[in-house]
């Protein structure tokens, strides 16, 4: 509840407006009418014992359309989503699919070995599996008892 | 000018058909482009993760239903630490405004994108009428 100054200074129209605004904001937040813009492409990150997997939804693209770069603990994917050529002089009824160039760098939780990377592209989903370098892996240390 | 490419979060939908779903999968609404050329209506829908065999297209009178089933990727021994998209089936229903020649609809699915090329029926095509000088 928003406190109004009613009673002490009389009716405050601004307080009412603020309250209305707060209510409207809440209404739109809940309904998800305006979903927040997300970086493209959306990714999921999975961690295993000594490797990390990044999956990205890139429908319409294939292996040769995406450029992957790995540097220390970052993965960069770059590419372009094209529009259908014949669609340029057509009548549009609906246009929801994003297109254009994209470049996204993802920070990985650890350094990865650029020589041990496996990437596959299936049905518009890119999956990149990267291994932690041998030297960086956690090691079990035996404790010597005296 | 280069513009940062963004996308919006996948929209979850409740399946259209009455009755309960037997699978507990989430259903998403695929992002779709629809455009019209002189003799076709073309529908392009993004359904990442859907294999060509798992796409289902149905046209009943003027109601077009597209569905795609996703086989969830198993990541055994991995735990998900960051998620920006969810995996689930796709479903969307359209009502077509043009009369479609339903026998000649071409459907193709490649790289997770469904393309439906629907030829307009002869009666629905715009006819050019020549004006004679009197």
CA of A61: how far to CAs of B7, B46, B47, in Å?
16, 11, 12
- Listed as ranges, residues in chain B with pLDDT below 70 are 1-8, 14-25, 98, 124-127
pLDDT at B130: 82
pLDDT at A102: 92
pTM of the model: 0.74
pLDDT at B66: 93
CB-CB under 8 Å, B47 with A35:
no
Nearest-CA neighbor of A40 among B9, B2, B73? B9
CB-CB under 8 Å, B78 with A53:
yes
CB-CB under 8 Å, A43 with B7:
no
Q: Does ipTM surpass 0.90 in this model?
A: no
pLDDT at A23: 76
Measured between beta carbons, the chain B residues lying within 8 angstroms of A60 are 46, 110-113
pLDDT tens digit sequence for A86-103 = 767 778 888 888 888 999
Which value, to the nearest 10 degrees, does the dihedral of the CA atoms of residues A35, A36, A38, A44 take? -70
Q: How far is B124 from chain A (nearest CA, A)?
A: 15
- Mutation for testing the A interface, residue in B7, B12, B115 having most A CBs under 10 Å: B7
Sheet strands (E) in B2-127: 6-8, 11-12, 27-29, 32-36, 40-46, 50-60, 63-70, 79-83, 89-95, 106-110, 113-119
Minimal-distance CA residue of chain B relative to A32:
B11
Is A105 within 8 Å of A75 (Cβ atoms)?
yes
Q: What number of residues does chain B have?
A: 134
In the structure, what pLDDT confidence band is assigned to residue A106 with cuts at 50, 70 and 90? very high
CB-CB under 8 Å, A93 with B34:
yes
pLDDT at B19: 56
């Amino acid at each position: 509840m928003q406190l109004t100054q009613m009673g002490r200074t009389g009716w405050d129209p601004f307080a009412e407006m603020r309250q209305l605004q707060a209510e409207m904001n809440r209404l739109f937040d809940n309904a998800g009418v305006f979903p927040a813009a997300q970086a493209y492409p959306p990714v999921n990150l999975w961690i295993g014992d000594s490797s990390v997997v990044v999956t990205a939804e890139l429908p319409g693209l294939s292996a040769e359309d995406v450029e992957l770069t790995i540097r220390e603990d970052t993965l960069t994917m770059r590419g372009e989503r094209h529009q259908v050529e014949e669609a340029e002089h057509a009548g549009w009824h609906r246009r929801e699919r994003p297109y254009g160039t994209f470049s996204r760098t993802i920070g990985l939780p650890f350094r990865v070995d650029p020589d041990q990377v496996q990437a596959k592209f299936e049905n518009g989903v890119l999956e990149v599996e990267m291994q932690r370098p041998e030297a960086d892996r956690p090691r079990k240390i035996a404790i010597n008892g005296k | 000018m280069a513009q940062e490419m963004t996308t919006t979060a996948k929209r979850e939908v409740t399946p259209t058909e009455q009755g309960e779903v037997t699978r507990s999968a989430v259903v998403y609404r695929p992002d779709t482009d629809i455009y019209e050329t002189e003799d076709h209506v073309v529908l392009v829908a993004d359904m990442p993760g859907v294999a060509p065999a798992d796409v289902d297209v149905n046209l009943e009178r003027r109601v077009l239903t597209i569905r795609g089933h996703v086989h969830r990727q198993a990541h055994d021994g991995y735990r998900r630490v960051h998620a920006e998209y969810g995996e689930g089936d796709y479903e969307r229903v359209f009502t077509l405004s043009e009369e479609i020649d339903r026998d000649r609809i071409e459907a193709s699915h490649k790289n997770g994108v469904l393309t439906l090329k629907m030829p307009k029926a002869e009666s629905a095509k715009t006819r050019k009428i020549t004006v004679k000088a009197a």
